[in-house]
Amino acid sequence: MATSYPIPKFHFKVSFGDTEFNCTEVSGLDFEAEVIEYRSGADAEYHKTKQPGLSKYSNITLKRGTFVDKGREFYEKWIKTVYFQEKGEQFRGDLVISLLNESHEPVVSWKAINAYITKIQSTDLKADGNEIAIETAEFVHEKLTMIE
């Protein structure tokens, strides 16, 4: 008999296009349907009906540590393609976030379709701090789906 248990949220992987990278935090994996309120002029009752409208998605925010050997790739590759839209570069891609089990296999995966970076924030600097340097990237996308 299989036992069911909650999955911890600290074991996950993130990939964008053909690049897989480590992150310390992912947020914005939510979607909602807007509500349309409608009342026909010929309705006998004096209230509106509610119907599902267009889907709405949050931006996805990724936070990761700044690495000595890999930090420049984050800025050189993605900033150039997004902000300068260099010729021949693909700056949109599918962003896939997978929650993993203890065997390192995806249990739940989210796929942000046609995602691209809209904001990159470097770490803050503090002379008396002892935290690691964290950089943040914010992705916008056209649609968020859950895949198996």
**What pLDDT is stored for residue 14 in this prediction?**
93
**What pLDDT is stored for residue 95 in this prediction?**
93
Nearest to 96 by CA among 33, 11, 19: 19
pLDDT at 118 over 90: no
Nearest to 9 by CA among 97, 141, 140: 97
Looking at residues 73-82, what average pLDDT do you find? 61
Per the model's pLDDT, the better-predicted residue between 12 and 2 turns out to be 12
Upper half-sphere CA count for residue 53 (Cβ side, 13 Å): 9
User: What pLDDT digit, counting tens, does each position of 15-58 carry?
Assistant: 987 778 788 999 999 989 999 999 888 888 888 889 999 999 99
Q: Which amino acid is at 98?
A: S
Distance CA 33, CA 133 (A): 37
Per the model's pLDDT, the better-predicted residue between 77 and 64 turns out to be 64
pTM strictly above 0.85: no
Q: Which range is least confidently modeled, 92-96, 117-121, 143-147?
A: 117-121
**What pLDDT is stored for residue 5 in this prediction?**
79
Fold of 14-35+49-147: Pnp Oxidase; Chain A (2.30.110)
Phi, psi (degrees; rounded to nearest 5) at 123: -70, 155
Phi, psi (degrees; rounded to nearest 5) at 115: -85, 150
Proportion of the chain above pLDDT 70, given as a percent? 84
Identify whether the C-beta of residue 24 lies closer than 8 Å to the C-beta of residue 4: no
Distance CA 137, CA 18 (A): 17
Rounded to the nearest 10°, the torsion over CA 12, 21, 123, 141 is -80
Phi, psi (degrees; rounded to nearest 5) at 119: -150, 135
Per the model's pLDDT, the better-predicted residue between 72 and 119 turns out to be 119
pLDDT bin (cut points 50, 70, 90) of residue 75 is low
